[in-house]
Amino acid sequence: MTTTTQSQTSLDSVAELAAQLRVDSIRASTSAGSGHPTSSMSAADLLAVLVARHLRYDWDDPDLPANDHLIFSKGHASPLLYSVFKAVGVISEDELMSGYRRFGQRLQGHPTPVLPWVDVATGSLGQGLPDGVGIALAGRYLERRSYRVWVLCGDSEMAEGSMWEALDKAAYYRLSNLIAIVDVNRLGQRGPTELGWDLDAYRRRAEAFGARVIIVDGHNLAAIDDALTEAEYTAVGQPTVVLAQTVKGRGFSEVEDHPDWHGRPFPPDMAERAITELGGIRDLVLRGPRPTGNVAAEAAVPAEDRARPTGSEAATAAEPITYALGRQAATCKAYGDALVALGARDHRIVALDGEVSNSTYAVEFARAYPDRYFEMFIAEQQMVGAATGLAARGYRPFASTFAAFLTRAYDFIRMGAISGVDLRLIGSHAGVEIGADGPSQMALEDLAMMRAVHGATVLYPSDGTSTAALVQTMADTPGISYLRTTRGAYPVLYPAGETFRIGGSKVLRSGHYDDITLVGAGVTLHACLRAADILRNEGIQARVIDCYSIKPIDSATLAAAAVATSGRMVIAEDHHPEGGLGSAVTEALLAAGQSDLRLAHLAVRGMPGSGSGAELLAWAGIDADHIAAAARKLMDPAQANLDWPRLSGRDLR
């Protein structure tokens, strides 16, 4: 074993390292019978130079705040990344050869942060660079540290608009600490890329989006070294894009530049020929430069705080706004107020918004703490990507836009769950309640979308008090948490100080002889309360449940209500019927073993158009009158089948 530890590894050693990275990428993927050796081989020289001579990283302390960051936006080149980990001595030969892509192992098919040297999960192309923007924002504006964020990008993924959203924001925020290295090997999965080896075309695009561009022969080690030196030492107030012309499968003549070898491991005999051509198996262990900059100062920070931001504002314990019972308040406004209060007490709180902060009320946080607010303009994918990067650095991002437009970022939200980051997403203006703007702005799929995210928390408060409480709770909620807010103002239902736990609910009306249960959340809860009043005048006693926590859901309270009201329950939601509140409630009841249910599920079953909120809630069949009518039908033993689809309005289209 040859161990090189000097701070500047010679280019001869780098060449050996590059060969080893290729050989190990081949061996790992062949041993797994799966993986992308050729996509690793094209970038091996780039990574060898980067890791040996430029990446400032203490491999024994991946949490060191001064460490640079290395993101494989082309996550399918995981064999190369894991070969790097072997070469710096943090994983063993054995793990590389027997752990890659195997069940229960951490060297997954695409990198995830189960590995301590990985910041964010990649594998859905076009996300590593947006995530890297978030880390670079943290470094430059919040941590104020000198680390750099190096992102290895594929050329194919430059077709994703999100890559351009990322460069746009990187330029807007002058992220000179962000360096994208694009491995232009000209071949995608099924054939040539759009732009092939036209590096000048990439150059024009990246420059137009505000990046400084350096073009390099991606297999000339000295040239790469010069390029990365230029990238890191010339502070220009711009992100840097290194465009590297490379050859897919470089180093093994049988596959070089061959379109048919994407994502295919070499069969053992072929792997053997490749390894021979590459000069055999090596066992080099070497490391590059250690972090510089403010390492000494950081060493004084207690270890548990090191990855944490140090706020610049005074830690004023701003009291959250309280809401007088019965007063009209919009939950979207309550979100903004609560976030401001939260921001005063916790400097890790940061906020992002997609150019609608005066609607989502993120603007209140932006005004109070401009240093911790990041305007993402109309780029929802980048907004969630930046939030992911910020969360990976220990911040607590709240990212908001209209609930409808969070659908734009679904792939990023899904990947955030795989990254295991804690993201707080706020979707305002949900449902037909918004009225005149029409269906494009309504969000009738968001609850389904968010519930299906692994480990997600889905909240839908109905008043100012509960919104304020839940926003505060979200700051400490792990995983992806989602808060759905409402445009219009509705009466405050809860006194100040009322607590709202995740997975809880509130029983707002109940008695010993309840006939039926009405379940609502957000705007429909108010309709349930009015329906209960209507029914009471008719002698029907309704229990009313505020299901503000849709995931997890309060199964016990729902089940008890079902038992108490002979299985009779009306569920009303301002959402399409699939996957939202109705699904959550019915699945909870069934999972809890409830039978003998007699349910009515009121939801938005048609395609809405414009109108007033009240008109549309009535049209959808989710207002107080329809809830009361459904309750009456459920009380009628002669009514065998409610025929849910006929309970609501038809298309307005």
| Cβ nearer to a copy of itself, comparing 49 with 356 | 356
Contact at 8 Å (CB) between 214 and 182? no
Annotate each residue in 354-373 with x if it binds a copy of itself (CB under 8 A) or - if it does not, as one string: -xxxxx---x----------
Contact at 8 Å (CB) between 221 and 49? yes
The dihedrals phi and psi of 55, each to the nearest 5 degrees, come to -65, 120
Angle between helices 221-233 and 11-32 (to 10 degrees): 100
| Cβ nearer to a copy of itself, comparing 57 with 365 | 365
* Closest alpha carbon to 515 in 493, 494, 531: 531
| Cβ nearer to a copy of itself, comparing 349 with 418 | 418
Containing 482, the helix (H) or strand (E) segment is strand 480-484
Of the residues 289, 309, 461, 582, which one makes contact with a copy of itself according to CB under 8 A: 582
When asked if residue 248 is in the footprint of a copy of itself (CB under 8 A), the reply is no
180 pairs with which residues across the strands?
Answer: 151, 241
Stretch that binds a copy of itself, among 86-94, 108-116, 292-300, 465-473 (CB under 8 A): 108-116
Contact at 8 Å (CB) between 264 and 40? no
Listing DSSP states for 210-248 in one string gives T-EEEEEETT-HHHHHHHHHHHHH---SS-EEEEEE--T
What residues numbered 448-467 form the site for a copy of itself, per CB under 8 A? 448-449, 451-455
Of the residues 93, 437, 498, 538, which one makes contact with a copy of itself according to CB under 8 A: 437
| Cβ nearer to a copy of itself, comparing 442 with 493 | 442
Whose tokens are 């229960």? That residue is 104
The dihedrals phi and psi of 289, each to the nearest 5 degrees, come to -65, 150
Of the residues 20, 193, 331, 457, which one makes contact with a copy of itself according to CB under 8 A: 193
Q: How far is the CB of 374 from a copy of itself (least distance, A)?
A: 13
Of the residues 5, 316, 537, 641, which one makes contact with a copy of itself according to CB under 8 A: 641
What residues numbered 457-516 form the site for a copy of itself, per CB under 8 A? none
Annotate each residue in 171-190 with x if it binds a copy of itself (CB under 8 A) or - if it does not, as one string: -x---------------xxx
Q: How far is the CB of 64 from a copy of itself (least distance, A)?
A: 23
Q: How far is the CB of 180 from a copy of itself (least distance, A)?
A: 15
* Closest alpha carbon to 414 in 164, 215, 124, 197: 124
What residues numbered 373-392 form the site for a copy of itself, per CB under 8 A? 377-382
Stretch that binds a copy of itself, among 132-140, 292-300, 531-539, 644-652 (CB under 8 A): 644-652
When asked if residue 414 is in the footprint of a copy of itself (CB under 8 A), the reply is yes
Annotate each residue in 523-552 with x if it binds a copy of itself (CB under 8 A) or - if it does not, as one string: ----------------------------x-
The verdict on whether 380 is a catalytic residue reads yes
* Closest alpha carbon to 417 in 443, 398, 444, 391: 391
| Cβ nearer to a copy of itself, comparing 272 with 355 | 355
Q: How far is the CB of 487 from a copy of itself (least distance, A)?
A: 12
How many residues bind a copy of itself (CB under 8 A)? The answer is 124
30 pairs with which residues across the strands?
Answer: none
Annotate each residue in 288-327 with x if it binds a copy of itself (CB under 8 A) or - if it does not, as one string: ----------------------------------------
Rounded to 10 degrees, what is the CA torsion of 64, 70, 73, 79? -110
| Cβ nearer to a copy of itself, comparing 469 with 627 | 627
| Cβ nearer to a copy of itself, comparing 124 with 466 | 124
Containing 513, the helix (H) or strand (E) segment is none
What residues numbered 31-60 form the site for a copy of itself, per CB under 8 A? 32-35
Name residues whose C-beta falls within 8 Å of residue 385's C-beta, 6 or more positions apart in sequence.
127, 129, 130, 131, 133, 134, 162, 165, 166, 412
Kindly provide the b/e burial profile for residues 370-408, where b requires at least 16 CB atoms within 10 angstroms of the residue's own CB. eebbbbbeebbbbbbbbbbbbbbbbbbbbbbbbbbbbeb
When asked if residue 134 is in the footprint of a copy of itself (CB under 8 A), the reply is no
Of the residues 123, 249, 289, 343, which one makes contact with a copy of itself according to CB under 8 A: 123
Stretch that binds a copy of itself, among 27-35, 214-222, 271-279, 326-334 (CB under 8 A): 27-35
| Cβ nearer to a copy of itself, comparing 20 with 176 | 176
Rounded alpha-carbon distances, angstroms, from residue 589 to 558, 571, 582: 7, 12, 11
Of the residues 230, 257, 277, 411, which one makes contact with a copy of itself according to CB under 8 A: 411
Rounded to 10 degrees, what is the CA torsion of 190, 196, 197, 200? -150
Distance CA(100)–CA(29), nearest Å, equals 7
Whose tokens are 């510089």? That residue is 292
Which of 95, 165, 375, 380 is flagged as catalytic? 380
Contact at 8 Å (CB) between 489 and 432? no
Of the residues 16, 68, 422, 445, which one makes contact with a copy of itself according to CB under 8 A: 445
Of the residues 122, 238, 481, 485, which one makes contact with a copy of itself according to CB under 8 A: 122
Please report, as a single letter, which amino acid is at residue 565: T
What residues numbered 135-174 form the site for a copy of itself, per CB under 8 A? 156-157, 159-165, 168, 172
* Closest alpha carbon to 542 in 522, 571, 521: 571
Q: How far is the CB of 126 from a copy of itself (least distance, A)?
A: 7
Kindly provide the b/e burial profile for residues 10-47, where b requires at least 16 CB atoms within 10 angstroms of the residue's own CB. ebebbbbbbbbbbbbbbbbbbbbebbbbbbbbbbbbbb
Active-site residues, by number, are 380
